[in-house]
Structure 1
Amino acid sequence: MNARTFLVRGLLAGLIAGLVAFGVAFTVGEPPIDTAIGLEEAAAAEAPAEPAADEAHTHAEGEEGHTHADGEEGHTHSHGEEEGGITRTTQKTWGLATATIAVGVALGGIIALIAAAVAGRLGRLTVVGSTALVTALGFVAYVLVPFLKYPAAPPAVGSGDTIGSRTAYYFTFALISIVAMVATVFLGRWLAAARGVWTGVVVAGVAYVIVVTVAALAMPTVNELGDFPADVLWEFRISSILTLAALWGAMGVALTWLLGRVDTTPRATA
């Protein structure tokens, strides 16, 4: 099989995975988001309004002066009706479906190309076995481990002033985890050839855990929860990881099944 065979089936598997992820996200993910948005809007409604004098300002141009208030030019909107007429209903249906499908297709293509690159290079694993391993290791390195350090936060959690730094922390740690996983695979291959498969897998796995643990302890900790309800936060984070697991799991199953159908044809003929 060539890279094109992998890529085409990876894109198709990503499409299937995106649809599955949409179903999970809509079913278990949207209810806690709606609750969090309701809490955010309630907190905004209860916040004391600033005096009008603080909003107004005066300036002079030559000998002519005039006064105007920012409120005359400003506008407010809620999550139910965003700018451009995008309603909350659209966000949680077509918007969510578009996002999960786009991410699924892109991710499926990437995983398929990586699987094509490592096919036949991971010991005695078949194409199906190596593809399944790539998907599983990708989920651990890119999703699970970073999630444990920097879990998802719902609306109304976190300051807008720190969103840039929090995003940078997450992707930095994810990059460390991915690089460590790639190094782990090379280490495992070398040890498996020199000391046996069992030794290679165990030592490489322990090495990965040590590296990401040290990195997690060294990276800054983010705690901006405030008095956000713990039950809503827990429900949101569980639904987030379930959605990601559904995306990666469905993609792995679909891709290995599609590749397996192609890989078994020459064997059956022989």
Structure 2
Amino acid sequence: MNSISIRALLVRGMLAGLAAGVLALVVAYLLGEPRVDSAIAFEDAHSHEHEMEVVSRSLQSTAGLATGVLVFGVAIGGIAALAFCFALGRTGRFGPRATAMLVSAGALLAVYVVPFLKYPANPPSVGDPDTIGKRTTLYFLMMVLSVLLSVAAVILGKRLAPRLGNWNATVAAGAAFLVLVGLAYEFLPAINEVPKDFPATLLWQFRLSALAIQLTLWTAFGLLFGHLAERHLLPRAAPARDANGAAAPRTAPVG
């Protein structure tokens, strides 16, 4: 794949990421923000310390939320487009649409779902402020491990395929990935700082909404980018024209 195609796919990936970010923003505003407001109300009701807001809550839930989600969408769109350029033609006989969906599904699993299962998202008022650095470090460590193990699983599957066949090689690589992720879960320290009186339903709804945002983002990106990539890589052939410039009629195949 030449540099011109990579540049064009990178631009399309960022545009698809932006459009997917808009959809994720709608989900975040409708599902996530009400749970954040409820968590803040719980914190205010159970805390005697009231800090002055540097940024108002209304600004956080509108312009701040939109900026964060859209910038994130553009960034992951560009990165996923580069991953698509590497994966296309190297993951079997998949076209651009299928490859885009595979990349999106793999990114959702490795970048979000695997770290989320070990260190799930928590709303405001959950977590000790003194441990935020430790919690952030552990989360990103789990994310990096997940990405590296995913890449290793893909390489392992490709190397086993000639001996075991594609299906058995995929199963073996997937099993190895699960075992290593399980070991990472076991050895990395657990963090549980949820207050005992925090509503379990609110915590569950917040985590589901966080998962829904990521699912919307990556699914929309895969569908949109797959369409744009296919149109770029597999353009429709222009119809043949006769001497007068009119489109020549297509002849039906014989037999």
Change beyond 3 A, Cα 1:180–1:76? closer
Q: Which residue does 1:156 correspond to in 2?
A: 125
**Bigger share in strand:** 1
Equivalences for residues 107-118 of structure 1 within 5 A: 107-118=76-87
Q: Distance in 2 between matches of 1:109 and 1:31?
A: 30
Q: Which residue of 2 is the match for residue 166 of structure 1? A: 135
Letter in 1 for 2:66: A
Q: Offset of 1:42 from its aligned partner?
A: 1.3
Q: CA deviation at 1:31?
A: 0.6
SS of aligned partner of 2:223 = helix
Q: 3-state DSSP class of the match of 2:47?
A: helix
Distance 2:51 2:102 in 1: 49
In structure 2, relative to structure 1, the CA distance for the partners of 1:268 and 1:190 (3 Å cut) is farther
Quote how far apart the aligned CAs of 1:94 are.
1.5
Matching residue of 1:252: 222
The answer to whether the aligner puts 1:261 opposite 2:214 as a matched pair is no
- CA-based RMSD of the aligned residues comes to 1.8
The answer to whether residue 210 in structure 2 is matched with residue 204 in structure 1 is no
Whether 1:127 and 2:96 are equivalent positions in the alignment is yes
Deviation at residue 123 of structure 1 after TM alignment: 2.0
Alpha-carbon distance in structure 2 between the residues aligned to 1:5 and 1:269: 25
Deviation at 1:91, TM superposition (A): 1.0
CA contact (8 A) 2:6 2:85 kept: yes
| Aligned counterpart, 2:44 | 41
Q: Which amino acid aligns with 2:192?
A: N
Could you tell me how far 1:105 is from its partner in structure 2? 0.2
* Separation in 2, partners of 1:76, 1:230: 26
Distance in 1 (CA, whole Å) between partners of 2:235 and 2:188 is 49
Q: Deviations over 1:68-99 (max 9, x none)?
A: xxxxxxx941xxxx22xx32111111111111
Partner residue, 2:164? 195
Task: Measure how far apart 1:190 and its partner are.
Answer: 1.4
Assess, with a 3 A threshold, how the Cα gap between structure 1 residues 144 and 267 changes in structure 2: closer, same or farther. Answer: farther
Q: Partner amino acid for 1:12? A: L
Partner of 2:190 in structure 1?
A: 221
Tell me which structure has the larger Cα radius of gyration: 1
**Which residue of the partner structure matches residue 17 of structure 1?**
20
CA distance in 2, matches of 1:136, 1:265: 25
Distance 1:36 1:248 in 2: 27
Which secondary structure state, in structure 2, belongs to the residue aligned with residue 225 of structure 1?
coil
Helix, strand or coil: the match of 1:265?
coil
Tell me, yes or no, if the aligned pair for 2:158 and 2:169 is still in contact at 8 Å.
Answer: yes
1:178 aligns with 2:181: no
**Count of aligned pairs between the two proteins:** 236
Unaligned ranges ≥5, structure 2: 241-255
Paired with 2:167 and 2:230, the residues of 1 have a C-alpha distance of 26
Question: C-alpha offsets along residues 239-263 of structure 1, whole Å, 9 cap, x if unaligned?
Answer: 1111111111111111111112223
Per-residue deviation, residues 183-211 of structure 1 (Å, max 9, x unmatched): 00111111223321111111111111111
Q: Normalised by the size of structure 2, how large is the TM-score?
A: 0.88
- 2:250 aligned partner: none
How far 1:131 moved relative to its partner? 2.2
Q: Quote how far apart the aligned CAs of 1:101 are.
A: 0.4
Q: Determine the structure 1 residue equivalent to 2:10.
A: 7
